[in-house]
Structure 1
Amino acid sequence: MPAALAIGDFSRATSLSIKTLRHYHRVGLLAPAQVDADTGYRWYTTDQIPTAQVIRRFRTLDMPLEQIHAVLQAPDLATRNELISAHLASLEQNLARTQSAVASLRDLLAGPSPAAPVSHRQVEAVTAAAVTAHIAMSDLVPWYSGALAELQATLEAQGLRTAGPTGGMFAGELFTDEAGQATVFVPTTIEVPRLGRVEPLLVPAAELAVIEHPGSLADVDRAYGSLAAYVADHELRLDGPIREYYLVGRQDTADEGQWRTEVCWPIFSTGAAA
């Protein structure tokens, strides 16, 4: 029969504070082997030490308590490993985002890079298949990915061909109020029927100031900043949604270094060349 340890001794044995052990007990993650009915004092056994050590290591990897509980309660080894692998994949994604942010910050600290050239373009109205929603800025990336996948699946199922690069239109409120209307669209040769979230859309004609951003969208704000400065300097700005055209994007390759995105600001053209 395993030996019993008072909570203080168990704390020293596992490097988990008494406060933490009490919290784990309250949430049902690591219950003591015995609780004194009169004093409420907690006792643990030596065979609980490995479980406590596993919990501590998962916490150092920022695994949420509910996920740790799911791992500990997994019915079989395959399920347990699947849960652990999913968390490790999430950590790797976070690490990649952190590394990208660090690289971007180093570039900024090194000094401003030469701004990409800005061009003027007049685009005609085009027929498109689109998904539109009012979303929070924090949900933009997952919403965009889901909307794009739905658009591609719908067009493929109906045997429709695209007639231009995928684009997006984003209301000003999405930037200023962190919530607003967003649209992802794919130009088509004919009008598409409404199906699920996909609906036909006539993307309006517009005059645009355009700057091209190469690579990941993690630092596309630099292109936005350069374009905004240009538009302000030339007093060309019009109210209207910002557009993005994904010349090469996630729909083409998973290699973010190959992506090319046009950021477009609606303008009132004076006929001056950019």
Structure 2
Amino acid sequence: MPSALAIGDFSRATHLNIKALRHYHRIGLLEPAEVDHFTGHRRYTTDQIPTAQVIRRFRALDMPLEEIHAVITTADTAARNELIAAHLQRLEMALARTQQAAASLRDLLQPPVDAVPAAFKHRREPATPAAAVTDVIDVQDANAWYQGALGELHALLAAQKITPSGPGGAIYANDLFSHQRGEATVFLPCDGAVRATGRVTALVVPEVELALTVHPGPHSGDIDLAYGSLATYVTDHALAVDGPIREYYLVGPHETNDEGQWRTEIGWPIFDVGQGAPW
């Protein structure tokens, strides 16, 4: 019969603090072998030490407690391995995001000597008929939302045998940036009459004068740097007017899965300064 340990000794043996052990007991993740009904003192067996060590390892990898419970209670080896593999994949994705953020920060602190200055241009966008999806979204959902909406628009136009007349785009309300939640519209220009289906409707995208720059790569990268440089340009030249930001997806997920090839044109509304090169 395995030896029993008081909770303090079990804590020292496993490096799980007493507060954590009590919590794991309450949620059924790691229940003590015995609880004194009069004193409430918990006792654990030495056989439970390996389980506690596994829990500690998974918590160090930020695995949610409910997933840890599933891993240590399932008798299905394949299911257990699938849970672990899925969590490891999430860790790898998080690591990639961290490395990308670190590289971007290094560039901010010490810009590369061969960095190419951002290019800007002006363009008048005429009123344009389009198929569109509009919703109120949270800013953290914007990337996945626009990709899903744009894919839906391409699929609907293909089903209705309508050819897009230009790249897809989006209009983002100022509230989305200033309050982290606001209205967003993704559109796909087209000349044919769009039959409204589901959340897709026909829309005439309003005319606007824009200052523009192009961001290469995915939105999850350093697109904020492109926004910042465009805002600096517009502000320095006293061009800005009230109005929502626009994005045009010159090359995006519909064209290629290679995120390094994506090109997003960012448009800031400005005064009508006429045609010609920006100063």
- Which interval holds the TM-score relative to the shorter structure? over 0.9
The offset of 1:209, in angstroms, is: 0.9
CA offsets 1:85-105 (integer angstroms, 9 cap, x no match): 221121111111111111100
The offset of 1:242, in angstroms, is: 0.7
In the TM superposition, 1:1-274 aligns within 5 A as 1-74=1-74, 76-111=76-111, 113-217=115-219, 218-271=221-274, 273-274=277-278
What amino acid is aligned across from residue 233 of structure 2 in structure 1?
Y
Q: Secondary structure at the match of 2:108?
A: helix
CA offsets 1:211-231 (integer angstroms, 9 cap, x no match): 111123221111111111111
CA offsets 1:158-185 (integer angstroms, 9 cap, x no match): 3433221121110111111221111111
Matched-pair identity in %: 62
Q: Which residues of structure 2 form unaligned runs of 5+? A: none
What amino acid is aligned across from residue 115 of structure 1 in structure 2?
P
Q: Secondary structure at the match of 2:104?
A: helix
CA contact (8 A) 1:124 1:204 kept: yes
Structure 1 distance, partners of 2:218, 2:117, is: 17
Q: Secondary structure at the match of 2:118?
A: coil
CA contact (8 A) 1:58 1:68 kept: yes
CA offsets 1:57-88 (integer angstroms, 9 cap, x no match): 11111111122123233352222222222211
What amino acid is aligned across from residue 250 of structure 2 in structure 1?
L
How many residues align? The count is 274
The offset of 1:152, in angstroms, is: 3.2
TM-score by length of 1: 0.92
